[in-house]
Amino acid sequence: MSSLEGLTAVVTGASSGIGAATVVALTDRGMYVHALARRADRLADLASATGCMTHVVDVRDRDLLRDLLTGLEVDVLVNNAGVGRGIHLFTDADPSDLDQTIDTNVSAVLHACHAVLPGMVARGRGHLVLLGSTAGLHPLPATVYGASKGAIHMMTANLRLDLVGTGVRVTEVCPGRVATEFYDAAIDDPEVRTSLKEIGISELDSVDVADAIAYAVEAPWHVNVTTIELQPTEQTYGGTHFDRYEGADRGES
């Protein structure tokens, strides 16, 4: 029997991709899972497949989000909901894209954590899981998205300081490229979207990330898996590559 049997989890952004896969992983381990997302039809399919409880919520609706979460006894909160609007060129981004990305990726996470933490601290147990990104750890041409995920990185580190001695664990999961609907929602221009999606490597899939989340959550209570960074084998960050002109050593122009 899983150590998670009978506990209650909340997963945001649960209608597809990593969120849906995480709902499956946690319900398979005997958890009661509340799945939050905007798309009612997708949530209905997920409920049929897993038995999860569903809530049609846009996490940017702070009042609705807080009312829902403060009414639940939450053992595990998986902050998965996120967007990448304005991910391509910062100078070309619409101001509304900047607001949507920060409101979804940062502000909603703060409000969700703030809503569930009093109960967790009072009970002396709980687990916050925040979906970061390798874009929050390494320089990439994704200014606003990277800024939002960089905020998540520091949020988790500082939350661990705030919560030391309370019994509440905090984990950041930082995936690299994952084959999801991310770019479909992030980019309107079909040519740009195709150029960013079709890069010719074997990407992670949603189950890979959900398994990492489940590993952290299922760890023994005295073990806090603080940060998980995972990326495709064919992807990495750092270093500089120059295309070398063959005639350079011979002084040719």
Q: Residues with catalytic annotation?
A: 145
**Coarse DSSP helix, strand, coil percentages of the chain, rounded to the nearest 5 percent:** 45, 15, 40
- Asked if 210 and 21 count as a contact pair (C-beta separation under 8 A), the reply is yes
Distance spanning both ends of the chain, measured CA to CA: 70
The token duo for 68 is: 């829902």
The C-alpha atoms of residue 34 and residue 57 are separated, in whole angstroms, by 11
DSSP letter string over 175-228? E--B-SSHHHHH---HHHHHHHH--SS--B-HHHHHHHHHHHHHS-TT----EE
The C-alpha atoms of residue 117 and residue 124 are separated, in whole angstroms, by 10
3-state secondary structure of 71: coil
- Asked if 81 and 19 count as a contact pair (C-beta separation under 8 A), the reply is yes
